[in-house]
Structure 1
Amino acid sequence: MAFIRVMSFGLRLGKRNLMLVFCVVFLVSLTLLLLKTGNRDQARLQGLAKCRELSQLLETKNLSGIVQFHKTANEEEQVLVIKKWKLQMKDKMILEHLLLTKECPWEANATAVAQYRAELGKCCNASFWLAVTQENAPLGSNISPDGNKGQKLPVNAELTSLLPERSPFPESQYRRCAVVGNGGILKNSRCGVEIDQADLVVRFNLPPMNFSEDVGTKTSLVTMNPSIIQNKYKSLQAQRKPFADALQPYRDALFLIPALSFVGHGVLGYRAVYTMEDFGLMQQAFFLNPRYLSTLRDYWKKQGLKPQRLSSGFMFVSMALEFCEHITLYGFWPFPHDLADQPISHHYYDNRLPKAGFHSMPSEFSHYLSMYAKGVLRLRLGKCQ
């Protein structure tokens, strides 16, 4: 009996010691976890502060500050790679800024997003002015083409018959938006699934959709430049079925045609709409309003962006800044190499180069970088999966 009592006491003492050891281990682990979390949070906050600092340097074009920023960044190897590329100095600087920016721990900045939304809403008001309607261009009025200053396009009965009564774009906000450029950097990205999860998906110039793994299948809005109608579909003066077939992947989308920006483009826009009417898609076609594009150009000119004409991508990123809470850009990349120094095609589907001097893609990309650094939008430049 005495032996049993001793053993029982030993077991109770062992359990107490075991419990004590467990408590000590738990407290030490919790302390280390809190320290690690605190250090991680501190590093994140420091990184965000540096990201904001870089954003200010980019916006104010503080070159001496940017040089100093470079000295503290561990990107020397990739900067040397970039210096081998045959680019203008300003484009090399944009890429070097990207190398710094991509190290920033990105975090959405609702205040900065709200500021863009308020400024663009005040100057441009996409929900009312983006598309030409009977409300903002009544019968008998004139439209001023943004590409031909001093010209007037009368709003006649034929044009009025093609216009919706009111804007098809709601004033309510979309939560997640994907603006999908056609850059070659999108090829092999495997971003299709992620793109299709967005509430609003914007595409440009009827791009081929047989790359679904990389570009997705969903489209909410797609642009259709008159140059595409003219060059790819022979101005719709011959067979129209190839054009109608090209629209099938976008059957549920809205089609926006900038046919009134230049005198002479209207006839191409009319033919496109009439063809869509014949194939049952007319109710989804709208003309992009030159007034919206004109006020948008003036806004960005004040921000230091002065190309001959804004690209379609930049126009609709601006639209998304009014409509969307969270914006992600895919396929926006104006350079002939990726950051691994591999050559890439201009588009994900071909290597046809744009008309020289018409747009300023690197300068626009620099503005995207600035918005990324401020937490306004995200840039997808690598693989999604």
Structure 2
Amino acid sequence: MKRCLCRFPCRWWPRHDVGPVPRFMAFILCCYCTVLVVMAIYGRTLPIRNMDDKNIKRSSSRDFSCHSHCNETQDQITTNTSVRNQNKVFIKTSKSNKQNGGNTRNNTNSQDLKNQLIDKNTSRTSQKNQSALVIKVYRSIKTNWTFNTTAAEEFRVRLEKECKTSEMFLTTQDSVKINESLQYEAERRSLLNITPEIHNRFPKELPYRKNSFKKCSIVANSGIIVGSKCGESIDSSDFVVRFNMADVHKFSEDTGSKTNFITCNPSILVNRYSGLVGRKAKKFREEMVASYHNATVFISAFTHRFCTKFAFRAQDALKSTDMDVVFSHPSHMTLAKTFWKRRGVKGLHLSSGLLLFTAILHFCQEVHLYAFWPFLEDPTGNPIQYHYFDPPTRVHKTSKFQGAYHNMPSELTWLIKLHNQGIIKLHVDPCA
């Protein structure tokens, strides 16, 4: 048995008496096999092609979960695992209804909701069970809502203590220094070296302060808002937050059009705007300005490594406009997830709505939530779209409530609880 260059026996290695060409080809084959083995060991089958690869290095930390803002493809990858973990997820209604003396619709028994489990085998409940659950959730929401200033301030202090929103909500020049390493939220083995060029992309300090706004509205994308006539109420707010470049033109009567803060998923930049290459960057800039004017654009640039490239491209595309582009701080995302996990939110990742709510509550005295409804039907049993701007032909077979990526039942539980305590206002009924 002959030996190859690595001194291991190899039956295919040419004899010494053959010409140089066969030996050279065998050497190339040996190197190729070695590279494949190394890549398989480290779990990487393709090189990462990122404009900032030279600033990215590996650390010995464990991998961490990613936030939903970043990669829609990751949703599909983790679906099967998450469904198994959420087989027995249920709705827990607020115990504060009795403590606060507030009335809920028909005084729904919270134990009934607790027993509404997602089907153990398929992760889908029957249409009949789904409808019954929608009604019970709706009835658990307090009707005679009044704002509880004391309770809101106490909860706000608790959030700030554990999540440090005033320091780490956004990546700023105060929170990250030049030549420091920023750890990615979803890929904890990856670190981004903060060069002077990258550091200049961040605002000098957080542009918001505690209680900067009296009334804020956070508008999600559920189809329940269609026909609500809540546009005027939303636009009367001092600060309006929207998600994932939602359409505000065709539905302004229901959703309003005022936008101060809009999130942008990097996957949208890839899928809808081809990674902001060439003319697509111009199209992105024109559509953003036409829809949101001078709003602040919020992008999760430091969840996955690939997000950084497209987030920076978006910032460059909007540089000539009045729109500011800011980036979430990965440490704040981790702290927020830990905060809610300790309180029963056990999904793989926080939804965009809960993450932004965690931060906005610090900056706003009174927070109103619209279209935070994870079902595919309204309380009267009428079917609604997954997103209010989806075309009628787009039909979703499973609701956001039963989604695998987020634990919507436990998130909705807390929103109802906070609503019933007067800390936030959860709008599920039409405004007019």
* TM-score calculated relative to the size of structure 1: 0.75
Residue aligning to 1:340: 380
One-letter amino acid matched to 2:184: P
Is 1:205–2:244 an aligned residue pair?
yes
Q: Which has the larger radius of gyration?
A: 1
The DSSP-based 3-state class of the residue aligned with 2:430 is: coil
Change (3 A) 1:216 1:360: same
The worse-fitting range, judged by mean Cα deviation, of 250-259 and 337-346 is 250-259
Is 1:196–2:238 an aligned residue pair?
no
CA contact (8 A) 2:224 2:384 kept: yes
Residue aligning to 2:427: 380
Change (3 A) 1:242 1:322: same
> Hey, what's the Cα distance between the residues in 2 that align with 1:338 and 1:54?
23
Change (3 A) 1:173 1:264: same
The DSSP-based 3-state class of the residue aligned with 1:152 is: strand
One-letter amino acid matched to 2:305: V
Is 1:257–2:299 an aligned residue pair?
yes
The offset of 1:124, in angstroms, is 1.7
Change (3 A) 1:146 1:68: closer
Is 1:186–2:234 an aligned residue pair?
no
Is 1:274–2:321 an aligned residue pair?
no
The DSSP-based 3-state class of the residue aligned with 1:176 is: strand
> Hey, what's the Cα distance between the residues in 1 that align with 2:113 and 2:223?
30
Change (3 A) 1:237 1:114: same
The offset of 1:53, in angstroms, is 7.0
The DSSP-based 3-state class of the residue aligned with 2:410 is: helix
- Counterparts in 2 of 1:147-166, with a 5 A limit? 147-166=186-205
The worse-fitting range, judged by mean Cα deviation, of 187-196 and 106-115 is 106-115
One-letter amino acid matched to 2:340: W
Select the residue among 114, 127, 138 that pairs with 1:85: 127
Residue aligning to 2:153: 114
The offset of 1:127, in angstroms, is 2.7
> Hey, what's the Cα distance between the residues in 2 that align with 1:201 and 1:126?
18
Residue aligning to 2:418: 371
> Hey, what's the Cα distance between the residues in 2 that align with 1:184 and 1:196?
19
- Counterparts in 2 of 1:1-385, with a 5 A limit? 50=98, 52=100, 66-67=110-111, 85=127, 96-102=136-142, 104-210=143-249, 211-239=251-279, 240-248=281-289, 249-277=291-319, 279-281=320-322, 284-350=324-390, 351=394, 356-385=403-432
Change (3 A) 1:310 1:352: farther
Change (3 A) 1:92 1:320: farther
CA contact (8 A) 2:285 2:318 kept: yes
Change (3 A) 1:128 1:157: same
Deviation string 1:330-350 (CA, Å, 9 cap, x unpaired) is 111100110110000011100
The DSSP-based 3-state class of the residue aligned with 1:236 is: coil
Deviation string 1:14-52 (CA, Å, 9 cap, x unpaired) is xxxxxxxxxxxxxxxxxxxxxxxxxxxxxxxxxx96374
Deviation string 1:219-270 (CA, Å, 9 cap, x unpaired) is 1111111111111111112422221122122122111111111121100101
> Hey, what's the Cα distance between the residues in 2 that align with 1:66 and 1:114?
26
CA contact (8 A) 2:113 2:137 kept: no
> Hey, what's the Cα distance between the residues in 2 that align with 1:92 and 1:180?
26
The DSSP-based 3-state class of the residue aligned with 1:313 is: helix
> Hey, what's the Cα distance between the residues in 2 that align with 1:320 and 1:287?
15
Q: Percent identity?
A: 29
> Hey, what's the Cα distance between the residues in 1 that align with 2:98 and 2:351?
30
* TM-score calculated relative to the size of structure 2: 0.67
CA contact (8 A) 1:181 1:330 kept: yes
> Hey, what's the Cα distance between the residues in 2 that align with 1:369 and 1:127?
25
Change (3 A) 1:269 1:105: same
> Hey, what's the Cα distance between the residues in 1 that align with 2:200 and 2:113?
57
> Hey, what's the Cα distance between the residues in 2 that align with 1:181 and 1:331?
5
> Hey, what's the Cα distance between the residues in 2 that align with 1:114 and 1:183?
28
Root mean square deviation, CA, Å: 2.7
The offset of 1:86, in angstroms, is 5.6
The offset of 1:69, in angstroms, is 10
The worse-fitting range, judged by mean Cα deviation, of 250-259 and 143-152 is 143-152
> Hey, what's the Cα distance between the residues in 2 that align with 1:295 and 1:49?
29
CA contact (8 A) 1:196 1:216 kept: yes
CA contact (8 A) 2:134 2:375 kept: no
CA contact (8 A) 1:176 1:327 kept: yes
The DSSP-based 3-state class of the residue aligned with 2:318 is: helix
Change (3 A) 1:164 1:87: farther
Which stretches of structure 1, 4 residues or more, deviate above 4 A after TM superposition? Answer: 91-95, 351-356
Unaligned runs of 5+ residues in structure 2 are 1-95, 115-124
One-letter amino acid matched to 1:171: K
Unaligned runs of 5+ residues in structure 1 are 1-47, 56-63, 71-82
Higher helix share: 1
CA contact (8 A) 1:51 1:101 kept: no
CA contact (8 A) 1:225 1:259 kept: no
> Hey, what's the Cα distance between the residues in 2 that align with 1:266 and 1:198?
32
The offset of 1:172, in angstroms, is 3.7
> Hey, what's the Cα distance between the residues in 2 that align with 1:306 and 1:54?
28
> Hey, what's the Cα distance between the residues in 1 that align with 2:395 and 2:210?
37
CA contact (8 A) 1:116 1:322 kept: no
The offset of 1:66, in angstroms, is 2.6
